[in-house]
């Protein structure tokens, strides 16, 4: 079993995204971010933020339930504003 660290706050998540993109010589704004939620082999729900560029995955950052909830709520607020 692979030991993965879990990002537990937004600040650490943004720092991780910045690190992943900069080590590949990119600006953070050039990366595509995709939220992935799914069950692992043990049936537990896990959330990841996939960082990619030109359809190539640079990293899948594992996030805590709290960070996942925050990202979903933030996206929902943005969508609601766009319809108002």
Name the band, by pLDDT with cuts 50, 70 and 90, for residue 4: low
Sign of the alpha-carbon torsion through 10, 12, 14, 20: negative
d(CA 50, CA 38): 13
Q: How much is the pLDDT for 40? A: 80
Whether residue 70 contacts residue 57, with contact meaning beta carbons closer than 8 Å, is answered with no
Q: How much is the pLDDT for 19? A: 96
Residue 64 to residues 5, 18, 44, 71, Cα–Cα distance (Å): 10, 18, 12, 11
Name the band, by pLDDT with cuts 50, 70 and 90, for residue 1: very low
What's the whole-number mean pLDDT along residues 54-69? 93
Name the band, by pLDDT with cuts 50, 70 and 90, for residue 2: low
């Amino acid at each position: 079993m692979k030991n993965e660290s879990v990002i537990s706050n937004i600040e650490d998540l943004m720092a991780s995204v910045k690190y992943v993109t900069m080590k590949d010589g990119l600006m953070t704004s050039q990366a595509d971010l995709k939220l992935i939620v799914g069950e692992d082999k043990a049936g537990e729900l896990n959330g990841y933020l996939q960082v990619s560029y030109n359809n190539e995955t640079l990293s899948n950052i594992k996030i805590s339930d709290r960070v996942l909830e925050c990202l979903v709520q933030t996206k929902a607020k943005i969508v609601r504003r766009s319809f108002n």
